[in-house]
Amino acid sequence: MFEKRLIVWLLLLSFLPGCSTTLRAQPLAVEEPSTEAPETAPLATNPSDFWATDLGAGTAQRGKASWYGKRFHGRRTASGEVFKMSELTAAHRTLPLLSYAKVTLLSNGKSVIVRINDRGPHILTHRIIDLSQAAAAELGLLSMGTGDVLVERVVARDVGDPPSLSKK
């Protein structure tokens, strides 16, 4: 047994010098994230300006929501935008990036329209959506931290669409 181990070690050691090469570490060019995001039009939050659409398995999703702010402010989101905690945005696992969702806090009935610009929350947290600090403030969620919400995917209504087509 000892001889086998010795032979294996000798074979391994004989291959090591042939595998080694001299590499010099080159500093990576680190691109500083720009805090300047492309200017976007202000988000209209009037629910009558949006139509509800199907999430896939029903018309809405119920679950826990939380919010995030300063710690992520200025970092890139999954959509490539720079996260700004003062904008009405959210992170969702499955809704398309840059789509819109109406989030209603069930304890007080307040609603807000958010743009999905990031992925999350992590599945192990048992939450369905993470809201920006501004969106959480609109709902009255800041002091609670988390709350039960209803999430509905919505699309912006065209100005020329007849009002009878809007789903309220």
Give residue 127's pLDDT. 94
**Residues 6 or more apart from 87 whose CB is under 8 A from it?**
43, 115, 132, 134
Give residue 8's pLDDT. 72
Give residue 23's pLDDT. 44
**Residues 6 or more apart from 97 whose CB is under 8 A from it?**
78, 79, 116, 117, 118, 119
- What domains sit in the chain, N to C, each tagged with a CATH number? 50-155 (2.40.40.10)
Terminal CA-CA length for the chain: 78
**Residues 6 or more apart from 150 whose CB is under 8 A from it?**
60, 61, 62, 103, 104, 106
Provide block-wise average pLDDT over 10 residues at a time, the chain (168 residues). 69 58 49 54 56 56 91 89 93 91 95 93 89 95 94 77 42
